[in-house]
């Protein structure tokens, strides 16, 4: 069989990615940093409309996991295990569906709805787990939210997955009553985001999505609202100007370059392109990749015979989108997103692992190093500046991307090939240079260099997909600590 250039690139990439990750992780793996003390509270959009922050101005870097079926499939002990694992890995948001099928029941057998009617949530008196008939579906969500808050974790709650809206179970007649119930029940919680949508285009049942978004925002003006769209689309296409939409979300999806051929404007794996498109729209709003390719899921999603996305792919999607200007990133894992466990329904998307094993897959532990890196330097003045890369960024996996503040510069390369930069864009007569490892969070000092002219940089290791590195250049006078070591605090 003849292979296309993209297919040959992917085959080489898949084998090299695993090899390089193992080589880099084994001898120099950093001890996991202690997670910060639990903190929740209302999150707001930053004054420049590009990032999120706590009300006191402290940066909030969205680091989410797709625990879509947490409410439905996990019991209390399993929920504790899952959330504690995510807390330890630095996650601060879990994306979870309130309604997945419309006939939802939780682990304890409690139904979400009365007779399948979203306007009539099945609420019973009391909330004791040990008293028969008391502990209803919504009591369990209450308990999960309390547990998550105690660990400093927010829950981005999806009122209804798209399929339930598409077939009309949630519709123009009952959406307002259902949304008001949700908003009034959870508006005083300290750790909630609202994620309207659910893997569906906003052009399908648009009126229902508008009702859900408007009603939630009217009844709960304090919590931020976004829209989770269909694969390879973005919320800004339909709802950018809507007052209820506080920040944009796109789903870059699960296809390879050669699989994404449905549109002349196909972006393939270039999730950074969605960020650039959202940044070009007015009024300015923050944006984030709410569903990139999941670790352990088949490339293209539906054919289990295809190679599976790996940890290096998860890193690439994360650094590409954040360095383009996203305010954070969402990670996903095939087994975890469906909470696959023994005795459950047949696995989707060729899943073979159980969720409690997959929570420790390498990508989940590596992406915290991106969060640590971003928070270790001034947060709110960061912009993309790919123009600093001499001769421009390469195509596909050859992309070299730069993001900077006024006193620091980060440059990410996925392959570790040498690249050249134009210096002088940040402050300082001298720059302090570091190589930062996305696999292990280790910073290797490289000394000082003058902040003028053009200079070539050669990352450690042998160039190959998955030999990814971040070059960090600091204004030496700023005396920043090692990249990723401690959160930046303005003096």
Q: Provide the angle, in degrees to the nearest 10, between the axes of the packed helices 5-28 and 311-324.
A: 100
The candidate with the shortest Cα–Cα distance to 449, out of 469, 467, 471, is 471
Taking CA atoms, 30 is separated from 91, 107, 201, 461, 465, in Å, by: 18, 37, 41, 18, 22
Query: Which residues neighbour 276 within 8 Å (Cβ) at sequence distance 6 or greater?
Result: 324, 325, 384
444 is a domain residue: yes
Please, are residues 376 and 485 in contact by the beta-carbon 8 Å criterion?
Answer: yes
Give exposure, 211-244, as e/b (b: 16+ Cβ within 10 Å): bbbbbbbebbeebbbbbbbbebbbbbbbbbebeb
Task: State the alpha helices, DSSP H only, in 224-303.
Answer: 236-239, 272-279
Please, how many CA atoms are within 13 Å of residue 190, restricted to the half-sphere of its CB?
Answer: 15
So what's the pLDDT on residue 65? Answer: 99
So what's the pLDDT on residue 261? Answer: 86
Cis amide linkage into residue 283, ω under 30° from 0: yes
Distance CA(91)–CA(367), nearest Å, equals 9
Are both 153 and 171 inside the same structural domain? Answer: yes
So what's the pLDDT on residue 446? Answer: 98
Distance CA(313)–CA(244), nearest Å, equals 33
What range does the domain containing 432 cover?
383-478
Distance CA(17)–CA(230), nearest Å, equals 28
Beta bridge partners of 157: 96, 194
Are both 194 and 329 inside the same structural domain? Answer: yes
Distance CA(279)–CA(283), nearest Å, equals 9
Are both 157 and 221 inside the same structural domain? Answer: yes
Query: Which residues neighbour 345 within 8 Å (Cβ) at sequence distance 6 or greater?
Result: none
The candidate with the shortest Cα–Cα distance to 264, out of 236, 232, 288, is 232
Are both 368 and 388 inside the same structural domain? Answer: no
Q: Provide the angle, in degrees to the nearest 10, between the axes of the packed helices 175-186 and 206-219.
A: 30
Q: What are phi and psi of 182, to 5 degrees?
A: -60, -50
In Å, how far from its chain's centre is CA 188? 25
Q: 3-state DSSP helix/strand/coil percent for the chain, to nearest 5?
A: 30, 20, 50
Please give the chain's pLDDT, 491 residues, in tens.
Answer: 344 555 555 655 655 674 455 455 443 334 345 566 789 999 999 999 999 999 999 999 999 999 999 999 999 999 999 999 999 999 999 999 999 999 999 999 999 999 999 999 999 999 999 999 999 999 999 999 999 999 999 999 999 999 999 999 999 999 999 999 999 999 999 999 999 999 999 999 999 999 999 999 999 999 999 999 999 999 999 999 999 999 999 999 999 999 998 777 899 999 999 999 999 999 999 999 999 999 999 999 999 999 999 999 999 999 999 999 999 999 999 999 999 999 877 789 989 999 999 999 999 999 999 999 999 999 999 999 999 999 878 899 999 999 999 999 999 999 999 999 999 999 999 999 999 999 999 999 999 999 999 999 999 999 999 999 999 999 999 999 999 999 998 76
Q: What is the pTM of this model?
A: 0.94
Q: Which of 325, 353, 375 is the last residue of a domain?
A: 375
Are both 347 and 457 inside the same structural domain? Answer: no
126 is a domain residue: yes
Are both 404 and 301 inside the same structural domain? Answer: no
Helix (H, G, I), strand (E, B) or coil at 321: helix
Are both 112 and 218 inside the same structural domain? Answer: yes
Are both 97 and 176 inside the same structural domain? Answer: yes
Helix (H, G, I), strand (E, B) or coil at 302: coil
Q: Which of 342, 375, 408 is the last residue of a domain?
A: 375
Q: 457: domain CATH number?
A: 2.60.40
DSSP 259: G
Q: Which of 333, 357, 375 is the last residue of a domain?
A: 375
Are both 409 and 328 inside the same structural domain? Answer: no
- The tally of domains found in the chain comes to 2
DSSP 370: H
Are both 358 and 415 inside the same structural domain? Answer: no
Distance CA(437)–CA(444), nearest Å, equals 8
Are both 443 and 307 inside the same structural domain? Answer: no
Are both 250 and 158 inside the same structural domain? Answer: yes
Please, are residues 43 and 154 in contact by the beta-carbon 8 Å criterion?
Answer: yes
Instruction: Quote the longest CA-to-CA distance of the chain.
Output: 74
Distance CA(132)–CA(4), nearest Å, equals 60
């Amino acid at each position: 069989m003849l292979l296309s250039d993209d297919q040959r690139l992917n085959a080489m990439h898949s084998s090299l990615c695993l090899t390089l990750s193992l080589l880099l992780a084994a001898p120099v793996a950093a001890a996991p940093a202690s997670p910060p003390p639990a903190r929740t509270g209302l999150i707001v959009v930053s004054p420049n409309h590009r990032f999120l922050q706590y009300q006191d101005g402290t940066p909030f870097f969205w680091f989410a996991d797709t625990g879509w079926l947490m409410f439905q499939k996990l019991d209390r002990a399993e929920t504790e295990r899952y959330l504690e694992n995510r807390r330890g890995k630095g996650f601060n948001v879990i994306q979870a569906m309130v309604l997945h099928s419309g006939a939802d029941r939780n682990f304890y057998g409690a139904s979400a709805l009365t007779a399948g009617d979203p306007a009539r949530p099945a609420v019973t008196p009391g909330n004791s787990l040990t008293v028969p008939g008391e502990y209803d579906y919504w009591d369990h969500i209450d308990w999960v939210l309390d547990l998550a808050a105690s660990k400093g974790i927010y829950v981005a709650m999806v009122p209804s997955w798209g399929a339930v809206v598409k077939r009309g179970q949630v519709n123009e007649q009952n959406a307002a009553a259902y949304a008001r119930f949700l908003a009034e029940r959870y508006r005083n919680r300290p750790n909630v985001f609202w994620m309207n949508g659910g893997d569906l285009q906003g052009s399908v049942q648009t009126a229902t999505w508008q009702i859900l978004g408007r009603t939630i925002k009217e009844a709960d003006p304090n919590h931020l609202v976004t829209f989770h769209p269909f694969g390879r689309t973005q919320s800004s296409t339909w709802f950018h100007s809507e007052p209820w939409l506080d920040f944009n979300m796109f789903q870059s999806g699960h296809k390879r370059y050669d699989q994404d051929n449905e549109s002349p404007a196909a972006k393939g794996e270039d999730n950074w392109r969605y960020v650039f498109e959202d940044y070009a729209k007015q009024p300015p709003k923050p944006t984030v990749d709410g569903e990139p390719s999941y670790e352990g899921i088949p490339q293209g999603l539906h054919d289990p015979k295809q190679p599976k996305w790996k940890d290096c792919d998860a890193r690439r999607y994360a650094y590409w989108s954040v360095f383009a200007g996203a305010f954070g990133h969402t990670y996903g894992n095939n087994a975890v997103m469906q909470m696959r466990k023994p005795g459950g329904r047949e696995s989707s998307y060729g899943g073979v692992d159980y969720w409690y094993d997959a929570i420790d897959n390498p990508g989940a532990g590596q992406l915290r190093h991106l969060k640590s890196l971003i928070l270790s330097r001034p947060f709110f003045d960061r912009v993309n500046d790919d123009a600093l890369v001499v001769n421009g960024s390469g195509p596909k996996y050859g992309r070299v991307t730069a993001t900077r503040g006024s006193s620091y510069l980060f440059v990410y390369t996925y392959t570790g090939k040498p690249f050249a930069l134009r210096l002088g864009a940040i402050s300082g007569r001298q720059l302090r240079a570091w190589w930062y490892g996305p696999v292990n969070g280790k910073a290797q000092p490289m000394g000082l260099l003058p902040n003028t002219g053009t200079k070539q940089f050669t990352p450690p290791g042998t160039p190959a997909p998955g030999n990814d590195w971040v070059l960090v250049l600091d204004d030496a006078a700023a005396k920043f600590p090692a990249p990723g070591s401690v959160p930046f605090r303005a003096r």
